[in-house]
A = this chain, B = another copy of it.
């Protein structure tokens, strides 16, 4: 019951918390999303919804044709209070400095989903945590660049890339902080 959820399950739960949705809605949500790079398959989506249901985090209403007219019956999934609690808990998870690079995309998703749930100070605290973690990561890469000795030019260039994109993330975090405080 207090099992860990997959990243994917967390995202689904978050989308459902934001708005009760059918499986098909969720699929389209991922397609339409700006980071539409990922399109979940049915074989990933529906089993994940079943797992969330088994854990009591969502419950699916009976198939209805309500809402959209040119559609077939769809069972709408709604978050339970336990589900909303789990989602809010996930959204509040602080940024881990050690895994900031790997989890960056996930943090951005959390940033979007925390808007209607958290107070502005909480959001700013999250962004500061993210900024600090990114600053530490960039510093580490810089340190590595100075310490290491490369053969050839490509390794150094690849490192430059890592530094560049994480510095861009860092700049964004600072921009977001000032943008949200005005």
Indicate if A58 sits at the interface (CB-CB under 8 A).
no
Tell me which residues across on chain B come within 8 A of A157, comparing CB atoms.
111, 172, 176, 179-180
Tell me which residues across on chain B come within 8 A of A159, comparing CB atoms.
34
- Distance in Å: Cβ of A72 to nearest Cβ of chain B: 27
Tell me which residues across on chain B come within 8 A of A66, comparing CB atoms.
none
Indicate if A167 sits at the interface (CB-CB under 8 A).
yes
Q: When the two chains form their complex, are residues A99 and B37 in contact, meaning their CB atoms are under 8 A apart?
A: yes
Interface residues of A in 135-177 (CB under 8 A from B): 141, 144, 148, 152-155, 157-162, 164-165, 167-169, 171-172, 175-176
- Distance in Å: Cβ of A126 to nearest Cβ of chain B: 11
Indicate if A1 sits at the interface (CB-CB under 8 A).
no
Closest to A175 in B: B160
Assembly stoichiometry (copies):
2
Closest to A168 in B: B168
Indicate if A44 sits at the interface (CB-CB under 8 A).
no
Indicate if A102 sits at the interface (CB-CB under 8 A).
yes
Tell me which residues across on chain B come within 8 A of A99, comparing CB atoms.
37
Indicate if A80 sits at the interface (CB-CB under 8 A).
no
Tell me which residues across on chain B come within 8 A of A116, comparing CB atoms.
152
Tell me which residues across on chain B come within 8 A of A141, comparing CB atoms.
34
- Distance in Å: Cβ of A178 to nearest Cβ of chain B: 11
Interface residues of A in 27-84 (CB under 8 A from B): 34-35, 37-38
Q: When the two chains form their complex, are residues B34 and A154 in contact, meaning their CB atoms are under 8 A apart?
A: no
Q: List 20 A-B contacts (CB under 8 A).
A: A34-B144, A34-B155, A34-B158, A34-B159, A34-B162, A37-B101, A38-B102, A108-B158, A108-B162, A114-B154, A115-B152, A115-B154, A115-B155, A157-B176, A160-B175, A161-B176, A164-B168, A165-B165, A165-B168, A168-B168
